[in-house]
Amino acid sequence: MELYEAIFSRQSIGKVRPDPLPRSLIEKLLAAGAQAPNHYKVRPWRFVVLTGTARERLGQVMAESFQARFPQVGDEALEKERAKPLRAPVIIAVGVEKPGEPKVDEVENICAAAAACQNILLAAQAEGLGAIWRTGDTARDPKIKQFLGFAPDQHLIGFIYIGYPENPPVKPERPSFEDRTVWLENQPNF
């Protein structure tokens, strides 16, 4: 798929089939993620790939964390939370490495990891996959970070859910850039 076609056709797709993805395809997406720009070449993205029953273990931790946040919650809501990671056969959790030296800025590391996420989304689009970037309370929970191997003060910027789309994609309609753009151009006599 041509680059602009991938950019303009990409959309969040949450409904995907449960069929597993070949590991080589997941690796191709990760490799695309790792091409993102990053200041001082620190490659601050950290990918945790969850497939198979690892998603059930994540669901268990998510349900426990949900119950800790909302102690009154009933079984049905807990079950719903537990099942969330099963919405796609592959989840890539993306964490951000803390700066290891003073010149490295944490916000820049977050920007680089976010660029890696977008690369993964575009690569998924080019492969005919459906993907969605998800966050929410789950992404800020220290217990969930711990399960994924991240420190409590490390940013977990998203869970990218990926699979083969259930429905044929429809071209997304999006607002243009005009109302979010100003132009500062040549001025006479300056």
Ligand X SMILES: Cc1cc2nc3c(=O)[nH]c(=O)nc-3n(C[C@H](O)[C@H](O)[C@H](O)COP(=O)(O)O)c2cc1C
Residue in 9, 16, 5 with CA at minimum distance from that of residue 131: 16
Least distance (Å) between residue 109 CB and ligand X: 15
d(CA 30, CA 122): 11
Instruction: Pick between residue 85 and residue 158 the one whose CB is nearest to ligand X.
Output: 158
Least distance (Å) between residue 10 CB and ligand X: 7
What radius of gyration, in Å, describes the C-alpha atoms of the chain?
19
* 3-state secondary structure string across 57-98: HHHHHHHHHHHHHCCCCCHHHHHHHHHHHHHCCEEEEEEECC
Enumerate residues 120-149 that contact ligand X by CB under 6 A: 132-136
Instruction: Pick between residue 63 and residue 160 the one whose CB is nearest to ligand X.
Output: 160
Least distance (Å) between residue 105 CB and ligand X: 19
**Is position 11 an interface residue for ligand X (rule: CB under 6 A)?**
yes
Enumerate residues 17-36 that contact ligand X by CB under 6 A: none
- One symbol per residue from 41 to 70: x for binding ligand X (CB under 6 A), - otherwise; what is it? ------------------------------
Enumerate residues 155-184 that contact ligand X by CB under 6 A: 158, 172
Instruction: Pick between residue 63 and residue 132 the one whose CB is nearest to ligand X.
Output: 132
Q: How many residues bind ligand X (CB under 6 A)?
A: 9
What's the DSSP call for residue 5?
A: H
Count helices and strands (H / E) in the chain: 6, 4
Q: Is 109 helix (H, G, I), strand (E, B) or coil?
A: helix
d(CA 35, CA 61): 31
Least distance (Å) between residue 94 CB and ligand X: 10
Instruction: Give the contacts of 160 (CB within 8 A, at least 6 positions apart).
Output: 91, 92, 93, 94, 117, 120, 121, 124, 131, 132, 133, 134
Of 12, 31, 79, 151, the residue at the interface with ligand X (CB under 6 A) is 12
> Which residues contact ligand X (rule: CB under 6 A)?
11-12, 132-136, 158, 172
